[in-house]
Structure 1
Amino acid sequence: MPEVKPCLIDTEKVAYIDRPEAISNRTALHEEIEIKCFYEGSATLLVESRTVCVKAGDVVVINPYEFHATVDTGTERGKYHLFMLPLDYFAGIPGLDLQELFFTRGKAFQTLFADDGELHALLMRVAREVQQEQAAGDVMIKGLLTQVFALLLRRGLAAGERTAPEKSVLRRFPVIDPAMRCIKTSYAESLTVERLAALCGVSKHYFCRTFKAVTGKSAMEYLRHFRLRVANALLTGTNRGVAEIAVSCGFEDQNYFSRCYKQYYGETPSQSRARNLNDRLDG
């Protein structure tokens, strides 16, 4: 069997990369739809407030402006093909107006499609088309991706309605993007409002006001909640000690970590771990 190589499809230009997660210039919040097609190993992702555990054969969809990150659990990350599609990719194709879907109807795709063989096979075919570079490859890729999104719509959208960001808020996303990327990659470090504002090249006052307008939270509250979500993923997905997890997530004081954790999750770190273990045994 030929070796499977990860590929990135970015808008209408196709490029190869060795590790999709190594792209450093992608924004933390982007309008494009991002699809990860996992073909080897496993991974733990954070998508907004959700923890998503994935394995080979799964497909993950990141909707526009959803904050997402991969949790470093200390094991080798799963391998996947990455697809980034702008909302006008299917312009002119009836029923696939993604701008209208997200920003007018307030809808979104569900995040995880687990063990969806039909969807996964289509995306793997797209990846092979990218690698083979055959005649009319662009036409074939667009046709396959049209089938992919028809399946996504047929599988059903996420429950409820999402509030699309207002245009005035959308214009502010690029301002805080450096801070969002820093939180995503350097949450274990001692981060301050001053440092995040400096990364964004704006004053502390303007940064705080803009960050709150975009996320609905202060920068420090957002950082704390992100750290707690990473900690929860490590508590339920690894055997690391609570103290080690606290430090690795940026909490130098274990007691403070436990208080914050209980306030956010309604239970202590040890209780979360025990409950998760019981759930797995019962399952």
Structure 2
Amino acid sequence: MMRYLASHENTTRGTSDFPLELYYVDMLHPRYEMPFHWHMECELLLVLQGEFTLLTDGQSYTLHPGNSAFLSSGAVHGGIPKDCVYECLVFDLNHLIKNYGGLFQQKYAGLFSPETQINVLYPAGTPCGQIISDLFAAMKDKNNGYEFFTIGMLWQLLGQILREHLFTVLTPSSRHFVQDSDQIKQVLDYIRRNYASQLSLSDLAKVLQLSPEHFCRVFRSIIGKSPIDYLNYYRVECACELLCTSSDSITEIAYSCGFHDLSYFNRIFRRYKSISPGRYRRQYIGSYKNLIY
């Protein structure tokens, strides 16, 4: 099983007393690109360098240096970096509220409701953007007392979001979109568990008991790719991780990732990475590093 490539990440973040974890991703990391996934924690993303195209729940956002994004709990999201270095801070908002914010939860219950979606994009220089930048700096430096600063800045960020009303309450039409997104999570999880097998469009459509045509429309509306395009993309990302972290041959990796024809694997790999699997391995081997600071 892939260490990082899971459609539904359920790794414990931080500790029970401090449920936050900071991740650093650059061009030398095997998970440089962000396959679609979701988790029950919230996530902040900060671009340090280059450009990052964030795709979440059918919307696309382009982030430049200093720009940040807020991803709510359960949001299906993925990303395409371009000459990019970025950081992610994943935190369990429900745990923080339970431990530190009973009063706030009662007074501002609407902000934490599943019917409420916090805005995604926060440009550099805006009040929320500055808070997020300072929050990442405190988490990275880990100076004495940084835990107090980070927890405090998270509450400050939520306060600023409330003050500026940077959230929307779902309408009946948007609730329908959320239902589609929840369905697609089932398909993403199915792909994660079965990508090494031969999968057809009909196989994927059957997960939701939809016709292939209807399934394609729903899938593309959320993910922005056709189901087969995404399947090939996901397989290539799995292959990239194995190329960087295992000594298996390229043929073994191709077969283990669902490609049963080496020439087809090489062609699809080049389509997504613009280089051959062998060159990719030589370029990135030895550069593998932990995602966590």
- TMscore range, shorter length: 0.5 to 0.7
The aligned residue for residue 19 of structure 1 is 25
Residue type of the partner of 1:79?
Answer: Y
4+ runs deviating over 6 angstroms: 23-27, 168-174
Aligned counterpart in structure 2 of residue 10 of structure 1, from 13, 19, 35: 13
Aligned to 2:91: 84
**Hey, what does 1:118 align to over in structure 2?**
127
Q: Is the 8 A contact 2:23 2:87 kept in 1?
A: no
Q: Is the 8 A contact 1:40 1:55 kept in 2?
A: yes
Counterpart amino acid of 2:154? L
- Go from structure 1 to structure 2 and tell me whether the alpha carbon gap of 1:65 and 1:176 turns closer, same or farther (over 3 Å shift): same
Alpha-carbon distance between aligned partners in 2 of 1:14 and 1:100, rounded to the nearest angstrom: 23
Match for 1:50 among 59, 71, 75? Answer: 59
Shift of 1:85: 3.0
Shift in CA distance, 120/220, structure 1 to aligned 2, threshold 3 Å: same
Q: Note the alpha carbon deviations across 1:166-220, whole angstroms, 9 max, x for none.
A: xx999988754424769xx99xx985342x48xxxxxx4xx224x99xxxx9543
Q: Which position in structure 1 is the counterpart of 2:189?
A: 178
Greater shift, 14-23 or 153-162, is seen at 14-23
Contact 1:107 1:162 in 2 (8 A): no
Q: Percent identity?
A: 12
Q: CA RMSD in A?
A: 4.7
How many aligned positions are there? 204
Aligned-partner residue type, residue 155 of structure 1 = E
- Aligned-pair CA distance for 1:49: 1.9
Write out per-residue CA displacement over residues 201-248 of structure 1, whole angstroms, 9 at most, x where no aligned residue. Answer: xxx4xx224x99xxxx9543333443459x9xxxxxxxxxxxxxxx96
Query: Deviation string for 1:30-75 (max 9, x for gaps)?
Result: 3222211223222111121211111112121112222221136xx3
Is the contact made by 2:49 and 2:65 (CA closer than 8 Å) also made in structure 1? yes
- Structure 1 spans left out of the alignment, 5+ residues: 1-8, 198-203, 232-246, 250-283
2: distance between equivalents of 1:27 and 1:87? Answer: 23
Q: Which consecutive unaligned segments of at least 5 residues does structure 2 have?
A: 1-11, 230-269, 273-293
Q: Residue in 1 aligned with 2:111?
A: 101
> Displacement of 1:109 after TM fit?
0.9
SS at match of 2:160: helix
Q: Whole-Å Cα distance in 2 between the matches of residues 170 and 102 of structure 1? A: 19
SS in 2 for 1:76: strand
| 1:146 Cα deviation from its structure 2 partner | 1.0
TM-score (norm 1): 0.54
> By how many angstroms is 1:129 displaced?
2.5
Alignment deviations for residues 244-279 of structure 1 (CA, whole Å, 9 cap, x no partner): xxx969xxxxxxxxxxxxxxxxxxxxxxxxxxxxxx
Q: Deviations over 1:81-123 (max 9, x none)?
A: 433333231334233568753436x221111122344323322
CA distance in 1, matches of 2:154, 2:168: 23
Taking the aligned partners of 1:220 and 1:26, their CA distance within structure 2 comes to 18
Q: 1:122 to 1:102 in 2, by over 3 A?
A: closer
2:96 is paired with a residue whose SS is coil
Q: Residue 119 and residue 48 in structure 1: after superposition, are their counterparts in 2 closer, same or farther (change >3 A)? A: same
1:31–1:87 Cα contact (<8 Å) kept: no
User: How big is the shift at 1:126?
Assistant: 2.3
Is 2:139 aligned against 1:136?
A: no
> After superposition, where does 1:215-230 map in structure 2 within 5 Å?
219-225=215-221, 226-228=223-225
CA distance in 2, matches of 1:49, 1:148: 25
Counterpart position of 2:281? none
> Which is bigger in relative contact order (C-alpha 8 A, separation at least 6)?
2
Q: What amino acid does structure 1 have at the position aligned with 2:96? A: Y
- Distance change >3 Å, CA 120–CA 191, structure 1 → 2: farther
